[in-house]
Amino acid sequence: MEHSPTPVTPNERWLAIFAGERPDRIPTDYWATDEVTSRLCRELGCRNVEELYTKLHIDGLVTIDPPRTDAHSPGDSTADLWGLRRKLVNYGEGAYDEFDNHPLAHMTAVEELDAYPWPSADDHDYDLFRDMIAHAPGHRMIRSGNFEPFLLYCALRGLEQAMMDLAAEPEFAGAALEHMFRYYFELAERTFEAGEGRIGVTYIAEDLGGQSALLMSLPQIRKFFLPNQKKMADLARSHGIHVFYHTDGAVRSVIPDLLDITGIELLNPIQWRCPGMEREALVRDFGDRLIFHGAMDNQQTLPFGTPDDVKKEVLENREIFSGARWVCAPCHNLQPVTTTENIVTMYETIHAHGAL
């Protein structure tokens, strides 16, 4: 392939891969905890994330969403827009947010859900959003919109109760998910209109897989998740916006539905050590329809492997995905346990060997 005389921007690289074309090189993306980003910036002498992306040749997305005019719940000024409070949990090298309350936990009737102070799409500042979009770096792809209602339902209801509801309280779970969908759909409509063609990609997700199998059954996934995901994806597509789809774990058996019902074009994070997620088979079965995003193992190789192991995995992925489209990225957020050397090795290796 002839290289273009002008430098290709990250945005162009993303657009090319979404269009089914071969960009100049394998695109890269970045997911990490705040602690890791701060550490990398400090150790690599970068003043901000943009400098870090430039230094490590990362085609990172810029996430911009319409800010809330009131960041709190209409029913609880100490909680977020959903009524959730968070607490910081320390694990030594860092800390992460955990939910401190489950406001729907005590409910038993759909009528109680109807009376809950759900957030409204009116409570966002779309003028400010337009302004933020206008000032976003033109060489980067903008990501707006985030639809992952069951994750939220688990927080609102408590994880185990939320899971049990899929089998034992389907009407209640369905009604709650519908309330969330109505908010998200209107928010996305107004966001995409305000984005005026500058938004490149939207995020749709639901963690459907565990370490060795689906977390819930295919009929449950089809009933509770896929129809609304399709509506969100169709809305994005009608605005010329691509769909970034995330689901952790062993999800091989749901991929055909994600392609045919939701209509995904990119799947993240490809945890290839999970049964059924073997990369060669995914490329063979879905490589013509799917962009594979991630595939840099973040449970063993990146945190506990040597730089040589990381380099080997980058090159192995390049080989396996050579007949398909791949975006090189860690499987989920890089954690503080992963060394800077391993992270730099990943990005330097793909930069040195990623030409297409």
Partner 1 sequence: MPTIQTLYDAILNGNAKAAKEITQTSLAAGANPQALVDDTMIPAMNEVGRRYEANEYFVPELLIAARAMKASLELIRPLLSARGAEPVGRVVIGTVQGDLHDIGKNLVGAMLEGAGFEVIDLGVDVSPEKFINAAREKKATLVALSALLTTTMHSMKAVMEKLKESGMRGNVKVMIGGAPVTQKYADEIGADGYSSNANAAVALARKLLAA
Tell me which residues touch partner 1 (CB under 8 A). 89-94, 98, 159-160, 163-168, 210-217, 220, 298-300, 303-304, 335-338
**Farthest-apart Cα atoms in the chain, separation:** 63
Q: Helices in 20-169 by DSSP H: which ranges?
A: 34-44, 49-55, 110-114, 126-134, 149-157, 159-168
Q: Which is nearer to partner 1, 117 or 210 (CB)?
A: 210
Q: Quote the least distance from Cβ 60 to partner 1, whole Å.
A: 22
For the chain, the 3-state helix, strand and coil shares in percent, each to the nearest 5, are 45, 15, 35
Alpha-carbon span 355 to 350, nearest angstrom: 8
Q: Which is nearer to partner 1, 27 or 305 (CB)?
A: 305
Q: Which is nearer to partner 1, 132 or 258 (CB)?
A: 258
Q: Quote the least distance from Cβ 159 to partner 1, whole Å.
A: 6
Q: Quote the least distance from Cβ 161 to partner 1, whole Å.
A: 9
Q: Which is nearer to partner 1, 6 or 90 (CB)?
A: 90
Q: Which is nearer to partner 1, 18 or 30 (CB)?
A: 30
Q: Quote the least distance from Cβ 249 to partner 1, whole Å.
A: 8
Q: Quote the least distance from Cβ 338 to partner 1, whole Å.
A: 8
Alpha-carbon span 18 to 243, nearest angstrom: 9
Q: Quote the least distance from Cβ 126 to partner 1, whole Å.
A: 36
Alpha-carbon span 132 to 128, nearest angstrom: 6
**What is the separation of C-alpha 171 from the centre of its chain, rounded to a whole number of angstroms?**
28
Q: Which is nearer to partner 1, 142 or 346 (CB)?
A: 346
CB distance 330 to 294 below 8 Å: yes
**Strands (DSSP E) found in 121-265:** 142-147, 199-205, 242-246
CB distance 18 to 27 below 8 Å: no
